[in-house]
Amino acid sequence: MTLEFKGGSPTSSRGPEPVSTIRYVTRRMMEAECPGVYEQIPCQFRDRLPARVRSSAHNADIFWAGFNVFPGLVTDLFQRLRYVEGTEWPMWKLVAAFYLVEARIGESAVKRAGEKIHSTMSWPPHLRTVADALRYTETAYYESHLRAPRWLSGCWRVERETEARMVLVDDTPYPCRVNEGVVAGITRAFSHQKPRYGIRDPHEAKRAGGTVTRYDISFMPA
């Protein structure tokens, strides 16, 4: 998921660039730095990761919070990706990091780790309801990716919302189950509203080969 809870707006005034001007990370580039990593990224994303997008150094905290129970995993991962803590992440390396972890410890384990992501963040005081927190994933992701245009880096977005229900869309290249963990963690944090979630059209979700996952979340009105 890679969230960073700060201020700011995810709205970009820039329009999408022509595809011909966008430089994507190639298989050769990936393999030159991290042999074997290209095949670990799902085919719907591996050739569509923009070379210029970077992510906050804070994302390293997510790995320590979520995966430190597995001895040596985080250190080995950072070494394999040639990532130096305290520096910004090339987005493609951060995406690869989550898929490498998923391949190593399994889908259920990365979902449980995803549930801890919200606990690594400083939540703004105005987030008082589960709807507030779910809505804020859009800005959090935007800030985490250093305000890169959402059409380039991906995004979270609210597709529909009523007083007691929301459809939240995960339109990012990160693992489906990690981000499901984020949704589960947020709903747990606001358990007094009795939120429940499910995946809409699971056959079209990222875990099934799609490019987006939609969550249908219900809750008691605040």
Among 106-115, 164-173, 191-200, which is the least confidently predicted range?
106-115
pLDDT at position 8, please? 44
pLDDT at position 196, please? 98
With bands split at pLDDT 50, 70 and 90, how would you rate the model's confidence at 113?
A: confident
Q: Which residues contact 215 (CB under 8 A, 6 or more apart)?
A: 167, 168, 169, 170, 180, 183, 197, 198, 199, 200
Kindly state the tokens that stand for 14: 């820039």
At residue 160, what are phi and psi to the nearest 5 degrees?
A: -150, 150
- Selection from 163, 194, 167, 141 nearest residue 5 by Cα: 141
With bands split at pLDDT 50, 70 and 90, how would you rate the model's confidence at 2?
A: low
Which carries the bigger pLDDT value, residue 15 or residue 182?
182
In this prediction, residues 179-186 reach a mean pLDDT of 95
Which carries the bigger pLDDT value, residue 117 or residue 79?
79
Percent of the residues in the chain that have a pLDDT greater than 70, as a whole number: 91
Report how far residue 115's alpha carbon sits from residue 215's, in angstroms, rounded to the nearest whole number: 15
Helix (H, G, I), strand (E, B) or coil at 120: helix
Kindly state the tokens that stand for 156: 């979270």
CATH code for the part of the protein at 124-218: 3.90.1520.10
CA distances to 45, 157, 208 from 141, rounded to whole Å, are 18, 10, 23
Report how far residue 5's alpha carbon sits from residue 94's, in angstroms, rounded to the nearest whole number: 18
- Decide if pLDDT at 10 tops 60: no
Per-domain residue ranges of the chain: 19-114, 124-218
pLDDT at position 15, please? 55
